[in-house]
């Protein structure tokens, strides 16, 4: 059983990257096989629905998505939605998401965007039949000092989310 964490921010001071790294620690302490894809370090071309699918970096990203049984997507909230880089990855790796268990970590500027992940969650559920975990982690700047996560309550929630992702993925795989 293998897992993929996708850190979707392109910002060098990213907070969602810190959430993703915290989740990685929990996966590793659970002895899980986990891959970490940082979109800032693995730049992808914009999806044109055509020739970019053949590019090596796109093929490689799509293979990493395909290989995972469960995927944790760590996203910045932009304009009441996941950022464009997250959606671009999904456009580029489409079918690789089919039937995967998916969880979300969200970094936002304020509390009022709490439900912004629903658009991406809905598209993964309806387009690719993903099993989206109802539990998700939503974090604002108050939980950070600069780009470092300093809130133990958020660490606890990330641990609960990673534990649930492992449990649900394992349960579905063994049916
Ligand atoms: C273009 C842009 C749009 C944003 N839109 C929202 C928004 O709709 N709601 C919100 O709560 N925060 C918004 N923010 C704040 C980001 O969610 C916040 O800075 C978050 O930390 C970004 O994640 P990152 O640090 O991992 O890049 C926006 C930031 C930018 C740059």
Q: Which of 14, 11, 15, 13 is nearest to 151 (CA)?
A: 15
Structure confidence by residue, pLDDT tens digits, 31-63 = 999 999 999 999 999 999 999 999 999 999 999
Each residue's pLDDT tens digit, 94-142: 999 999 999 999 999 999 999 999 999 999 999 999 999 999 999 999 9
Best of 19, 38, 77 to mutate for ligand 1, by most ligand atoms within 8 A of CB?
77
Contact status, residue 19 vs residue 74, Cβ threshold 8 Å: yes
CATH superfamily of 2-173: Flavodoxin domain (3.40.50.360)
Q: Which residues contact 33 (CB under 8 A, 6 or more apart)?
A: 1, 2, 3
Q: What pLDDT, on a 0 to 100 scale, did the predictor assign at position 78? A: 98
CA distance 96 to 67: 8
In this prediction, residue 49 carries a pLDDT of 98
Position in ligand 1 atom list of the atom nearest CA 140: 21
Mutate to test the pocket of ligand 1, among 38, 108, 114 (most ligand atoms within 8 A of CB): 108
Average pLDDT estimate for 142-151: 94
pTM of the model: 0.98
The finding on whether 139 has its CB within 6 A of some atom of ligand 1 is no
**Residue in the block written with tokens 């979707």:** 8
Cβ distance 163 to 27 under 8 Å?
no
* Residues ≥6 apart with Cβ < 8 Å to 103: 70, 71, 72, 73, 132, 133, 135, 136, 161, 162, 164, 165
Every domain of the chain and the residues it spans:
2-173
Which residue's CA is the closest to the ligand 1 atom numbered 23? 76
Ligand 1 near 83 CB (within 6 A):
no
Q: Is the CB of 74 under 6 A from ligand 1?
A: no
């Amino acid at each position: 059983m293998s897992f993929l964490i996708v850190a979707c921010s392109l910002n060098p001071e990213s907070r969602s990257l810190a959430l993703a790294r915290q989740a990685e620690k929990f996966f590793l302490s659970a002895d899980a096989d986990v891959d970490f894809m940082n979109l800032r370090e693995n730049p992808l071309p914009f999806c044109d629905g055509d020739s970019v699918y053949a590019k090596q970096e796109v093929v490689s990203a799509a293979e990493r998505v395909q290989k995972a049984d469960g995927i944790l997507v760590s996203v910045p909230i932009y304009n009441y939605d996941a950022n464009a880089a997250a959606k671009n990855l999904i456009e580029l790796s489409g079918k690789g998401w089919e039937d995967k268990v998916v969880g979300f970590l969200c970094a936002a500027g304020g509390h009022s965007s709490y439900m912004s992940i629903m658009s991406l969650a809905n598209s993964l559920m309806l387009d690719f039949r993903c099993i989206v975990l109802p539990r998700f982690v939503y974090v604002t700047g108050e939980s950070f000092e600069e780009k470092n996560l300093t809130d133990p309550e958020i660490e606890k929630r990330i641990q609960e989310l990673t534990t649930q992702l492992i449990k649900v993925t394992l349960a579905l795989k063994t049916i």
